[in-house]
Amino acid sequence: VFDIPEPKLKVTEHVYLLYRVPGTSRTVHHPFHPGVGAPVQYGPRFGALLVYLSDYQLIPQARISKLCFDLYGRAISADTINRFRGPCFEHLEAFEEQLKKDLAESPVLHADQTGIRICGKCSKRSPAPSEPGKEPSASPEYVPISPPLRNADTQFIKLSSSSPRQTLVRQLKRRDLAKSLKQRPE
């Protein structure tokens, strides 16, 4: 029989002693265990699970809290989840800068139209609108970073204005790509 172990939190108690220096009011103690900064805290593996559920599986924080209560008997707050997400966000800063640099240097940017259901109907959302209210067109300055939400404008990364001339490919069909590259001004 293949089965999984019962989920439960493992609690580790770290005890340290305070020593009072004889003849003075000064106290000394051994430093805390590395990674321990509060009397009660969650460990890095539990934090990794919270980040995975929140940012990869896209589970809302209220549902993650309920899941933790159901599995481990501990309801956690949104602040606890965000405390573990913060360092991950900071570690991605170098990646974001490199991505912007690579996009700015790329001669062809691929940004396919995104189909999204709004009020039960399929709606095509195109990247890079040239002007509000007008038909979207290829723009070398903007690249979409997320699909638009209902009643919200599409978000874009603005590339450097000094970037090389680029072609924004909206539909990834072989004939359209070839046609756009042939018609591309030098």
Instruction: Give the residue with greater pLDDT, 63 vs 4.
Output: 63
Instruction: Give the residue with greater pLDDT, 55 vs 133.
Output: 55
Residue 113: is its pLDDT beyond 80?
no
Instruction: Give the residue with greater pLDDT, 30 vs 134.
Output: 30
What is the pTM (predicted TM-score) of this model?
Answer: 0.54
If you search the block for the tokens 């396919």, which residue do you land on?
A: 112
Distances (CA, A) of 117 to 121, 130, 144, 150: 5, 23, 18, 9
Distance CA 61, CA 68 (A): 10
Length of the chain as a residue count: 186
**Average pLDDT, whole number, for the chain?**
71
